[in-house]
């Protein structure tokens, strides 16, 4: 099916953000007509982490309003939408059900195709919202639920070459922040405190650092922080020094593991010139990590691409762009598709 202008409404509700976006592709030009995001941080911060039942209820409370807001922002009537895409997994089931049912309902009523999107594919393709990028490229996805290197060979052909064997990186930030009695989400808090502390104060472990692969492990690091916290008074100075030491440890781990991943990736491709690495997920907002990765550009003759923060964290626009890629290839799903 070739159509000059394609508009897809994308719904994301797999974790603690409800988001509805409309993305348009006109020729080769991509435009985000609306990207409405409702964060649930206010609901979950009291618990220091996402409570699935509360998340599901909050998604269902706002989904219809967000659809209306997105249509208003895009100044379009629903008739102008060519397909509906929704995150169908992986994620928290209650939230996925809300988004998928809303998407299927719209698709049924509007007589448009429904397209189920894998959340990770959304992150992998989010860069296309802002940059033209040719396949293949390497993806480093670092979020609250995922930490992985994936080779994006071409559309619908993805190979994971590295992952975490325990906690996700965002989870490590959040858990460390909780130990230090900092706010939620922990990543931005740690980053803020780290700027004010001594990064050499505590010598923290770097699990798997000497293994010549691109797998991660963060559980031992978190336990080490917990042990040091138990032996110290949690003063402001302590929080700053521990945040700085934690941030520095993460920067070093990311540097070494990304170097390994790039080398592994290069062995699989013909053109090794200026390879591209897309860094996505909420943790990609971290400036310390960005600076650490930038240092690799000259060493490895590569280029790191960072989507804008609003497209790094969970958003409907990445689900809509993945929907457009599928729409162009007639890859639709039946209305009995089950979220996973
Ligand atoms: O991608 P995301 O919004 O949601 C999913 O997990 O899918 O990522 C949220 C995670 C949280 O763990 C949060 O602490 C972390 O991203 N994060 C950061 C920063 N901003 C958000 N971690 C480190 N530094 C940051 N500046
Ligand atoms: Zn995500």
The answer, yes or no, to whether residue 15 has pLDDT greater than 90, is yes
175-193 per-position pLDDT tens digit: 999 999 998 899 999 999 9
Q: In the prediction, which pLDDT does 49 show?
A: 84
Chain centroid, CA 41 distance in Å = 16
Mutation to probe ligand 1, out of 37, 41, 173, 195 (largest number of atoms < 8 A from CB): 173
**What percent of the chain shows pLDDT beyond 70?**
99
Asked if residue 307 has its Cβ within 6 Å of ligand 1, the reply is no
| Average pLDDT score, the chain | 96
CA-nearest of 8, 32, 19 to 80 is: 8
Q: In the prediction, which pLDDT does 272 show?
A: 84
95-111 per-position pLDDT tens digit: 999 999 999 999 999 99
Asked if residue 170 has its Cβ within 6 Å of ligand 1, the reply is yes
Asked if residue 174 has its Cβ within 6 Å of ligand 1, the reply is yes
pTM over 0.85: yes
Rg of the chain in Å (alpha carbons):
20
195-254 per-position pLDDT tens digit: 999 999 999 999 999 999 999 999 999 999 999 999 999 999 999 999 999 999 999 999
Ligand 2 centroid from CA 198, angstroms: 31
Contact 250, 176 (CB under 8 A): no
264-310 per-position pLDDT tens digit: 999 999 888 889 999 999 999 999 999 999 999 999 999 999 999 99
The answer, yes or no, to whether residue 2 has pLDDT greater than 70, is no
CA-nearest of 247, 159, 232, 266 to 197 is: 247
150-175 per-position pLDDT tens digit: 999 999 999 999 999 999 999 999 99
User: What is the layout of strands, in order, in the sheet containing 29-39?
Assistant: 29-39, 17-26, 5-12, 83-89, 114-118
Structure tokens of 193?
């405190």
Instruction: Summarize the confidence of residues 42-69 as an average pLDDT.
Output: 94
Q: List the residue whose alpha carbon is closest to atom 19 of ligand 1.
A: 187
Phi and psi torsions of 151, nearest 5°: -85, 120
Strand-pairing partners, residue 159, are 151
Classify residue 284 by its DSSP letter.
Answer: G
Classify residue 164 by its DSSP letter.
Answer: B
The answer, yes or no, to whether residue 1 has pLDDT greater than 70, is no
Contact 187, 227 (CB under 8 A): no
Q: List the residue whose alpha carbon is closest to atom 6 of ligand 1.
A: 144
Residue found by looking up tokens 């619908």 in the block:
156
Q: Residue 32: which residues within 8 A CB-CB, separation 6 or more?
A: 21, 22, 23, 129, 317, 320
Q: List the residue whose alpha carbon is closest to atom 8 of ligand 1.
A: 282
The answer, yes or no, to whether residue 3 has pLDDT greater than 70, is no
Ligand 2 centroid from CA 320, angstroms: 14
Ligand 1 centroid from CA 259, angstroms: 22
CA-nearest of 113, 91, 125 to 13 is: 91
The answer, yes or no, to whether residue 27 has pLDDT greater than 90, is yes
Helices 287-300 and 236-266, packing angle to 10 deg: 30
Ligand whose nearest atom lies closest to the CA of 285: 1
Asked if residue 247 has its Cβ within 6 Å of ligand 1, the reply is no
Secondary structure tally for the chain: helices H, strands E: 11, 10
- Give the C-alpha separation, 331 to 337, whole Å: 13
Q: In the prediction, which pLDDT does 271 show?
A: 85
Asked if residue 286 has its Cβ within 6 Å of ligand 1, the reply is yes
Alpha helices by DSSP H, listed for the chain, are 41-44, 52-74, 93-110, 119-125, 169-179, 186-194, 219-230, 236-266, 287-300, 309-312, 316-328
Mutation to probe ligand 1, out of 171, 282, 284, 313 (largest number of atoms < 8 A from CB): 282
User: Exposed e or buried b for every residue in 14-48, given b needs 16+ CB within 10 A?
Assistant: bbbbbbbbbbbbeeeebebbbbbbbebeeebeeeb
């Amino acid at each position: 099916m070739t159509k000059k202008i394609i508009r897809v409404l994308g719904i994301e509700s797999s974790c603690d953000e409800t988001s509805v976006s409309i993305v348009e592709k006109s020729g080769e030009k991509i435009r985000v007509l609306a990207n409405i995001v409702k964060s649930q941080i206010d609901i979950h911060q009291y618990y220091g982490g996402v409570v699935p039942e509360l998340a599901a209820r909050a998604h269902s409370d706002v989904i219809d309003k967000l659809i209306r807001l997105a249509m208003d922002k895009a100044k379009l009537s629903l008739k102008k939408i060519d397909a509906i895409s929704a995150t169908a997994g992986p994620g928290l089931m209650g939230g996925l059900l809300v988004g998928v049912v809303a998407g299927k309902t719209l698709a049924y009523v509007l007589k448009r195709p429904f397209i189920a999107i894998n959340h990770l594919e959304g992150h992998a393709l989010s860069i296309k919202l802002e940059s033209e990028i040719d396949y293949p490229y390497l993806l480093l996805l670092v979020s609250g639920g995922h930490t992985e290197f994936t080779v994006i060979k071409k559309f619908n052909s993805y190979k994971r070459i590295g992952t975490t064997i325990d906690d996700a990186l965002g989870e490590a930030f959040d858990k460390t922040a909780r130990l230090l009695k900092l706010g939620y989400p922990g990543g931005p808090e740690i980053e803020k405190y780290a700027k004010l502390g001594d990064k050499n104060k505590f010598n923290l472990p770097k699990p798997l650092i000497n293994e010549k692969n691109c797998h991660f492990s963060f559980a031992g690091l978190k336990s080490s922080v917990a042990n040091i916290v138990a032996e110290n008074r949690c003063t402001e100075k302590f929080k700053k020094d521990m945040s700085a030491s934690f941030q520095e440890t993460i920067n070093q781990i990311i540097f070494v593991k990304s170097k390994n991943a790039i080398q592994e990736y290069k062995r699989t491709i013909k053109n090794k010139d200026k390879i591209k690495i897309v860094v996505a997920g909420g943790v990609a907002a971290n400036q310390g990590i960005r600076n650490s990765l930038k240092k690799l550009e000259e060493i490895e003759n590569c280029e790191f691409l960072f989507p804008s923060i609003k497209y790094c964290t969970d958003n409907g626009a990445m689900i809509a762009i993945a929907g457009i890629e599928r729409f162009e290839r007639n890859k639709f799903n039946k209305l009995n598709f089950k979220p996973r």
